[in-house]
């Protein structure tokens, strides 16, 4: 008989992981390399030095080292808000009347309200260690900008954040939080960069996109002495740092003597999902464990379910290296009506490869269905979920309802990446029946696909 599982389970401080896990070391086939957009040759590590600090460039390129020690200073800051709890969703199970056993790993217990702080701390730390004098980044919904502001304030590095204009306008308090941590917040596209000016000239009145904001931040980094760029998702290094989520979850489940049949996460750029599944995917790849992985994305920005697996730029201004990934095309700008985050045009090359090779599934849902799931979850579990995280909730509910039909007692683990306190405009639209679903047409997607760079690889 298995033991009684508590509602909330926390590892102790000395049970916390002291290393990150690099899933690439156990992948049967590697994701395709980043390409230099000029030569179309695989990028060399040194070519990343003008953009990223050295240690992070090394992590980005390293597909062999299985475990990376987490530096002492990073572990110390982790301990301020980690370990995060593994929660048994007894109330949700009861509400659904499902025999499934549902667990979620809750990452919203820090000021940024999301898992993003896990990588922000690492990136700010390595920049400081290299003696860099400032950092710059983009933010969409604002969680990444907030997380990085917290980390930069902690390690004492000035930060400039380019925030996607429509979020900047929808979420004015995000800016105030970032300013509390001394960050300089600029709505993007802006007149402060050449690429911002160009995008504004071609597309006046644009509400911006993550792709635009990335272009501006990269330009700022490469034209400012001692400044580097940091990115909150998509990159291999970010998935590496986020493996802390999966490592903690796996350890906690081991102690509880349970193991998931299905692991579910929302997918924007893929960092929380990549981090959550990493050690479980290892079990599938190395030990042939029978376990399903499901990525949940918005129907309005469906990079895995409707995108192309192709080389593309990581930004709209085409200043970044090219990555082979599932993409909607770097010129794709999701509908401004879409409130639920997860708006990035591409997907982590690691997750793209795993999906392409059949190790992971993907589904998409419309935002009204996602908010319905959020409301049901909030009512019984009492946490107000971020719209992004609610995609994973929706995915978990659907799987739990399938178990109800079949009577299977499956164990489901999902990632609850954060809280939704800054998303009340979207929640209000939902409550007032004003939220609309927007699904791009095939023609719209084709238009963006036509602009994909022509790479014969």
Ligand X SMILES: *Cc1c(COP(=O)(O)O)cnc(C)c1O
- Residue span binding ligand X (CB under 6 A) among the ranges 66-74, 188-196, 267-275, 373-381: 267-275
Instruction: Return the number of the residue (227 or 273) whose C-beta is nearest ligand X.
Output: 273
Instruction: Return the number of the residue (392 or 403) whose C-beta is nearest ligand X.
Output: 392
Q: 59, 84, 110, 114: which one contacts ligand X (CB under 6 A)?
A: 114
Asked if 105 touches ligand X (CB under 6 A), the answer is no
Binding mask 418-447 for ligand X (x = CB under 6 A): x-----------------------------
Closest separation in Å from C-beta 418 to ligand X:
3
Q: 137, 139, 167, 272: which one contacts ligand X (CB under 6 A)?
A: 272
Structure-token pair, residue 20: 């990150």
Instruction: Return the number of the residue (101 or 270) whose C-beta is nearest ligand X.
Output: 270
Structure-token pair, residue 327: 């993409």
Asked if 43 touches ligand X (CB under 6 A), the answer is no
Dihedral (CA of 335, 336, 338, 344) sign: positive
Asked if 189 touches ligand X (CB under 6 A), the answer is no
**Burial of 357: CB neighbours in 10 Å, binned 0-12, 13-18, 19+:** exposed
User: How many whole angstroms separate alpha carbon 134 and alpha carbon 142?
Assistant: 19
Tell me which residues in 371-410 interact with ligand X (CB under 6 A): 386, 388-389
Q: Which residues are within 8 A (CB) of 260 and not within 5 positions of it... i.e. 6 or more apart?
A: 103, 253, 280, 291, 411, 412, 413
Strands (E) located in 224-288: 227-229, 262-266
User: How many whole angstroms separate alpha carbon 225 and alpha carbon 223?
Assistant: 7
- Residue span binding ligand X (CB under 6 A) among the ranges 82-90, 204-212, 245-253, 260-268: 260-268
Closest separation in Å from C-beta 38 to ligand X:
28
Closest separation in Å from C-beta 456 to ligand X:
29
Q: How many CB atoms lie within 10 A of CB 285?
A: 15
CA angle 300, 241, 354 (to 5 degrees): 55
Dihedrals phi, psi of 98, to nearest 5 degrees: -105, 145
Q: 210, 296, 319, 342: which one contacts ligand X (CB under 6 A)?
A: 342
Instruction: Return the number of the residue (128 or 338) whose C-beta is nearest ligand X.
Output: 338
Asked if 294 touches ligand X (CB under 6 A), the answer is no
Q: Number of residues interacting with ligand X: please give it, by CB under 6 A.
A: 20
Instruction: Return the number of the residue (101 or 346) whose C-beta is nearest ligand X.
Output: 346
Closest separation in Å from C-beta 272 to ligand X:
3
- Residue span binding ligand X (CB under 6 A) among the ranges 3-11, 71-79, 268-276, 404-412: 268-276
Asked if 350 touches ligand X (CB under 6 A), the answer is no
Asked if 267 touches ligand X (CB under 6 A), the answer is yes
- Residue span binding ligand X (CB under 6 A) among the ranges 48-56, 270-278, 307-315, 360-368: 270-278
Instruction: Return the number of the residue (215 or 389) whose C-beta is nearest ligand X.
Output: 389
Q: 149, 167, 233, 320: which one contacts ligand X (CB under 6 A)?
A: 233
Structure-token pair, residue 376: 């049901």
User: How many whole angstroms separate alpha carbon 337 and alpha carbon 212?
Assistant: 18
Dihedral (CA of 369, 371, 372, 373) sign: positive
Closest separation in Å from C-beta 39 to ligand X:
29
Q: Among residues 286, 287, 245, 281, which one has the least CA distance to residue 260? A: 281
Q: Which residues are within 8 A (CB) of 24 and not within 5 positions of it... i.e. 6 or more apart?
A: 30, 31, 62, 63, 64, 236, 350
Instruction: Return the number of the residue (193 or 352) whose C-beta is nearest ligand X.
Output: 352
Asked if 119 touches ligand X (CB under 6 A), the answer is no
Tell me which residues in 125-184 interact with ligand X (CB under 6 A): 143-144
Do residues 245 and 105 touch, judged by C-beta distance below 8 A? yes
Closest separation in Å from C-beta 200 to ligand X:
25
User: How many whole angstroms separate alpha carbon 87 and alpha carbon 109?
Assistant: 13
Dihedrals phi, psi of 361, to nearest 5 degrees: -105, 170
Terminal CA-CA length for the chain = 53
State the residues that interact with ligand X by CB under 6 A: 114, 116, 143-144, 233, 266-273, 341-342, 386, 388-389, 417-418
């Amino acid at each position: 008989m298995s033991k009684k599982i508590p509602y909330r389970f926390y590892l102790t401080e000395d049970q916390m992981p002291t290393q990150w896990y690099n899933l690439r070391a156990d992948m049967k086939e590697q994701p395709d390399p980043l390409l230099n957009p000029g030569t179309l040759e695989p990028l060399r590590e040194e070519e990343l030095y003008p953009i990223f600090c050295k240690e992070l460039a090394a992590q980005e390129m390293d597909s062999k080292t299985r475990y990376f020690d987490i530096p002492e200073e990073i572990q110390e800051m982790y301990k301020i808000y980690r370990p995060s709890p593994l929660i048994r969703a007894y109330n949700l199970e009861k509400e659904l009347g499902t025999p499934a056993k549902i667990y979620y790993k809750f990452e919203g217990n820090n000021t940024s309200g999301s898992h993003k702080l896990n990588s922000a701390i690492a990136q700010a730390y390595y920049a400081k260690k290299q003696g860099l004098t400032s950092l710059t980044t983009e933010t969409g919904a604002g969680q990444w900008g907030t997380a990085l502001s917290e980390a930069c304030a902690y390690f004492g590095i000035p930060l400039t954040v380019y925030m996607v204009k429509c979020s900047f306008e929808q979420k004015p308090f995000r800016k105030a939080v970032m300013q509390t941590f001394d960050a300089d917040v600029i709505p993007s596209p802006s007149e402060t960069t050449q690429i911002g000016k160009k995008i504004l000239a071609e597309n006046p009145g644009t509400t911006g996109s993550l792709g635009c904001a990335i272009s501006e931040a990269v330009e700022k980094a490469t034209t400012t002495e001692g400044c580097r760029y940091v990115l909150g998702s998509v990159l291999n290094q970010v998935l590496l740092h986020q493996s802390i989520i999966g490592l903690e979850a796996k350890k906690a489940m081991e102690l509880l003597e349970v193991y998931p049949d299905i692991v579910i996460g929302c997918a924007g750029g893929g960092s929380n999902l990549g981090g959550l599944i990493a050690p479980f995917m290892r079990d599938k790849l190395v030990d042939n464990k029978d376990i399903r992985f499901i990525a949940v994305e918005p129907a309005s920005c469906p990079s895995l379910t409707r995108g192309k697996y192709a080389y593309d730029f990581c930004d709209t201004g085409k200043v970044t290296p090219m990555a082979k990934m599932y993409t909607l095309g770097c010129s794709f700008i999701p509908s401004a009506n879409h409130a639920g985050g997860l708006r990035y045009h591409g997907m982590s090359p690691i997750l793209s490869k795993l999906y392409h090779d059949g190790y992971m599934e993907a589904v998409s849902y419309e935002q009204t269905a996602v908010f319905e799931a959020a409301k049901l979850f909030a009512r019984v579990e009492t946490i107000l979920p971020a719209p992004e995280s609610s995609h994973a909730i929706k995915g978990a509910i659907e799987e739990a309802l399938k178990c109800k039909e079949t009577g299977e007692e499956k164990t489901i683990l999902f990632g609850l990446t954060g809280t939704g306190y800054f998303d009340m405009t979207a929640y209000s639209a939902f409550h007032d029946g004003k939220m609309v679903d927007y699904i791009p047409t095939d023609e719209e997607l084709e238009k963006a696909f036509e602009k994909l760079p022509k790479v014969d690889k």
